[in-house]
Amino acid sequence: MTSTPRKRLSPTESREAAVEAARALLVESGP
- pLDDT of 1-31, one tens digit each? 566 655 677 889 889 999 999 999 999 887 7
How many whole angstroms separate alpha carbon 18 and alpha carbon 14? 6
Cβ contact 15:7 at 8 Å: no
Long-range CB pairs of 5-11 (<8 Å, 24+ gap) are: none
According to the model, what pLDDT value does residue 30 have? 73
User: Three-state SS across 1-31?
Assistant: CCCCCHHHCCHHHHHHHHHHHHHHHHHHHCC
Residue 2, pLDDT score: 64
pTM: 0.55
